[in-house]
Structure 1
Amino acid sequence: MICFPHVGAGAAAFKPWLDHLPPEVDLCAVRSPGRENRVREALLTDGQALLDDLEAQVAPLLDLPFVVVGHCSGSVPATEFVRRLVAAGGPAPVELVVSSAEGPRARTVEDPPLHRLPPGELIERVVKYGGMAEQVLDDPDLMAMFERILRADYQVVETLAYTAGPPLDLPVTVVGGRRDEFVSCQAMAAWSAETDREFALHLLDAGHYILNEAGPLMGRIARRLLERKADG
């Protein structure tokens, strides 16, 4: 399970899912430069460069069946990663799963884009989304570091355009919150246009930030994919 986190986050964002996944499933979360144990590396602001780097690192893992997951803004690089794999004719995922994200045809980038907002406005916007820990808000040094990460990550997703192309020849599953005040159910349902295979939309009793609530559902999705693999 190759997981792309939302802006500002690292691999730890998916930790709540670990207790729900079958033991046969490895969760491989994308950890971009500049955070967690890569904090000393330079931040990337170019989405294509990020995907170039990722492709080389992930290639050895693609000899097993895999699913690609994109949470929130992470759905943009996740989908582009899948399209790259398909275009190259190499291994493709058995499914694309996105959460708390509008479909590519419903996507809009704000004007001005978030990565150009003044620090105070940028932090305020992220706080509204509900994905910022209190210990970060209470520490000026952490806030300064986090603001740089946010700005770089937003630049990646806001300048990375979805590649036009035919619907994907693989199932797409969308997970969202019924109380999401930023992404409507209609915008989530727009993902159905991105596949000519099975499409599913699961709505949880949650808001926009659903990583904690989504754990049990992700476990069920993983078990379903394992059963499909076992059935041949």
Structure 2
Amino acid sequence: MNSWIIFCQGRRAAPLRLFLFAHAGGGSAAFRGWNDRIGDEIELGYIQLPGRESRLCEQPFSSMVELIPHLVDALAAHIDRPFAFYGHSLGARIAFEAARELRHRGAPGPAHLFIAACHAPQLPWPHPPMSGLEDSQFLREVQERYGSIPRQVVEDEELRSLLLPALRADVTMVETCAYSPGLPLDCGISAFGGLQDHTVSQSSLDQWRVQTRGEFHMHMVPGNHFFPQLVESRLPEFISAELINIMGTQQHEEHDRPLSGM
């Protein structure tokens, strides 16, 4: 069993795969309900990093450089069909670095990269560091900046102790992740942002366009940093339709492409 990836049941024969990368401190639960809202042609694979949910007892990674080789080793066994990446916040940066590592290894890359609530990787981190703060200050700063921690977790010492190691490690990863210049990805990129997200600006999302040789699309929608979790969010349906359309277009182009020498 590959503990790095959780696949939804019943779609192992689906022609497409969509790997989902959660926000800092998050795991597969961040995408609860997505499987019911994604087309039957797509099998979802939830990326499960060490230190959370089913891997709670494992040491979380706090370095992108150390994480990516292990993650891509796990992905390598599951890229035997067309696939795409979707990442939210830190998950977007991890998905981007995983796509670059696949290219470095000469392996197939994603057909498309969907990113949400994440400023472009070549831009400097725009916020004051908080990974070194003591626990109560750290949680307070995370809550003020992102508003992502449920109240029952903040008030319950046992729940806090379960959340803190992975969350602090992920925040450390964000704050210490250095960008290495490289060629743009061949796959297209779709960037999503919340209109009320004060942590990720529209201009910083727009800079993702330099990271692709393919098409770039940006979509700004109502909501804060965690806009996909809003009840009215149609993001899973939108991604599903766009991915199916992208794959259909690519297959049509390959079918129409003349054979070499003709």
TM-score normalised according to structure 1 size: 0.92
1:177 CA drift (Å): 1.0
1:161 is aligned to 2:178: yes
The CA distance in 1 between the partners of 2:237 and 2:42, in whole Å, is 14
Higher helix fraction: Structure 1 or Structure 2? Answer: 1
The CA distance in 2 between the partners of 1:176 and 1:110, in whole Å, is 17
Letter in 2 for 1:119: D
The CA distance in 1 between the partners of 2:176 and 2:214, in whole Å, is 28
Map 1:53-202 to 2 at 5 A.
53-108=70-125, 110-111=127-128, 113-128=129-144, 129-202=146-219
User: Over residues 104-145 of structure 1, what are the superposed CA-to-partner deviations in whole Å (9 max), with x where a residue is unaligned?
Assistant: 23331544x221122222212222313222331231111122
Asked whether the equivalents of residues 27 and 47 of structure 2 are also in contact (C-alpha less than 8 Å), the reply is yes
1:198 CA drift (Å): 0.3
Asked whether the equivalents of residues 137 and 143 of structure 1 are also in contact (C-alpha less than 8 Å), the reply is yes
User: Would you say how many aligned residue pairs link Structure 1 and Structure 2?
Assistant: 231
Asked whether the equivalents of residues 115 and 150 of structure 1 are also in contact (C-alpha less than 8 Å), the reply is no
The CA distance in 2 between the partners of 1:16 and 1:125, in whole Å, is 29
Map 1:33-48 to 2 at 5 A.
33-48=50-65
1:225 is aligned to 2:246: yes
Task: Name the counterpart of 2:27.
Answer: 10
1:216 is aligned to 2:237: yes
Identity %: 29
Determine which structure has greater relative contact order: mean sequence separation of CA pairs < 8 Å that are 6+ residues apart, divided by chain length.
1
Letter in 2 for 1:225: I
User: Over residues 7-42 of structure 1, what are the superposed CA-to-partner deviations in whole Å (9 max), with x where a residue is unaligned?
Assistant: 110111112322221112111121111111111112
Task: Name the counterpart of 1:204.
Answer: 221
Asked whether the equivalents of residues 62 and 172 of structure 2 are also in contact (C-alpha less than 8 Å), the reply is yes
User: Over residues 36-95 of structure 1, what are the superposed CA-to-partner deviations in whole Å (9 max), with x where a residue is unaligned?
Assistant: 111111222222222122112111111111111221122222111111111221111111
Superposition CA RMSD, Å? 1.8
1:217 CA drift (Å): 2.2
Asked whether the equivalents of residues 99 and 110 of structure 2 are also in contact (C-alpha less than 8 Å), the reply is yes
1:226 CA drift (Å): 4.0
TM-score normalised according to structure 2 size: 0.82
The CA distance in 2 between the partners of 1:218 and 1:207, in whole Å, is 19
User: Over residues 133-162 of structure 1, what are the superposed CA-to-partner deviations in whole Å (9 max), with x where a residue is unaligned?
Assistant: 233123111112212221111122322222
In structure 1, stretches of 5+ residues that fail to align are none
